[in-house]
């Protein structure tokens, strides 16, 4: 760890002023877990997320991302929504329960922080910022910057915020003192591994995305494998199970960002009546919108099928006439599930 400089102190102060809860600085040297990531890709455990395999050279050499990069500023923003959960019989990952997409909120803050950073350097100082969109291994860099450690569920954990925060990064040509890397504090705990409904965490620090409910309900664009549908349960967007059980969440606190707070949503069967316009108007500017209507209603059908609730049959049978084949397929499966295994 290097002694903080006036520049690094000023940058961190500005980050906190902009609302970031965590901020650390590391070098632009290659990420330490790059070989493990490359092996993960080689074994196909990223599924259909082809974008992860692109620009592999850039992930290994950040000079290809920003020539002359010397330092990386890593930020964390708490997103834990507060208040009582709305009365609904389905689950959505906490990060998507609000009214705005986190990319938009963090991008605005990073843009301001990057501009501030450039004013501190010489006229030729360059910056480039990302919110989980660039060819960088952000969790690796975040641990090296000291703001958290990678848990056995492969997510980043903060001793101050638990599991509930977003990451953002700024690459800069400024040479800033690096913070000390965070240590790993999982110890012998394996709660996250045990909690995973699909056993997607195949070993400590190893995730097979093809089994992960977050992948199946968000990243996978086509049909969900039939054998995995019952394991999805009542989840229609993402899964927090491995995060929820982490003991470090005892330090979590509600986010002050109003856009991350929970909002009321309609019953599952009502979603099946929505056309493209209704879906777009309700979910636009939120993480849910990336699913598109077809993917969202696919998930709704699976959750209804898993509910075993016969009262959902009329809505599901109407969905058999949906213009999207993907929706029709999963509606037919859900009907079969309910008719063969109704709730007693």
Q: 3-class DSSP state for residue 72?
A: strand
Half-sphere exposure of 141 (CA within 13 A, CB side): 30
Q: Write the CB contacts of 44 (distance below 8 Å, at least 6 apart in sequence).
A: 210
> Residues 270, 276, 278, CA angle at the centre, nearest 5°?
50
The overall longest dimension of the chain from CA atoms, in Å, is: 71
The sign of the CA dihedral 322, 326, 329, 331 is negative
DSSP 139-159: HHHHHHTTS-EE-TTSSEEBT
Alpha carbon distance 234, 331 (integer Å):
15
Calculate the CA dihedral of residues 312, 317, 318, 322 and round it to 10 degrees.
120
What H or E segment, with its residue span, contains residue 76?
A: strand 71-78
Please confirm, yes or no, whether 132 is among the known catalytic residues: yes
The closest of 79, 72, 106, 80 to 181, measured between CA atoms, is: 72
Distance between CA atoms of residues 219 and 215, nearest Å = 5
Which of 58, 132, 234, 309 is catalytic? The answer is 132
- Annotated catalytic residues are 132
């Amino acid at each position: 760890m290097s002694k903080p400089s006036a520049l690094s102190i000023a940058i961190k102060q500005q980050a906190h002023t902009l609302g970031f809860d965590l901020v650390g600085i590391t070098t632009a040297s290659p990420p330490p877990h790059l070989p493990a990531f490359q092996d993960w890709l080689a074994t196909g455990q990223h599924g259909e997320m082809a974008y992860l395999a692109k620009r592999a050279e850039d992930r290994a050499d950040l000079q290809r991302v920003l020539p002359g990069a010397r330092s990386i500023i890593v930020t964390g923003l708490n997103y834990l929504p507060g208040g009582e959960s709305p009365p609904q019989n389905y689950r959505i990952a906490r990060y998507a329960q609000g009214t705005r997409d986190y990319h938009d909120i963090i991008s605005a803050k990073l843009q301001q922080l990057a501009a501030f950073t450039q004013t501190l350097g010489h006229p030729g100082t360059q910056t480039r910022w990302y919110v989980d969109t660039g060819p960088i291994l952000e969790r690796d860099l975040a641990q090296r910057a000291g703001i958290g450690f990678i848990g056995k569920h492969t997510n980043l954990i903060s001793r101050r915020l638990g599991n509930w925060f977003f990451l953002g990064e700024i690459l800069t040509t400024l040479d800033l003192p690096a913070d000390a890397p965070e240590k790993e504090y999982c110890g012998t705990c394996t709660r996250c591994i045990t909690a995973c409904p699909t056993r997607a965490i195949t070993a400590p620090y190893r995730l097979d995305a093809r089994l992960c409910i977050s992948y199946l309900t968000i990243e996978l664009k086509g049909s969900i494998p039939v054998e995995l549908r019952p394991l999805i349960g009542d989840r229609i967007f993402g899964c927090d199970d491995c995060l929820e059980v982490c003991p470090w969440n005892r330090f979590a606190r509600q986010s002050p960002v109003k856009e991350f707070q929970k909002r009321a949503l309609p019953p599952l069967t009502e979603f099946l009546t929505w056309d493209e316009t209704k879906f777009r108007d309700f979910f636009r500017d939120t993480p849910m919108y990336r699913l598109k209507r077809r993917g969202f209603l696919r998930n709704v059908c699976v959750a209804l099928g898993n509910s075993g609730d016969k009262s959902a049959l009329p809505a599901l049978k109407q969905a058999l006439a949906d213009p999207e084949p993907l929706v029709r397929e999963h509606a037919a499966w859900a009907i079969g599930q309910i008719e063969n295994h109704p709730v007693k």
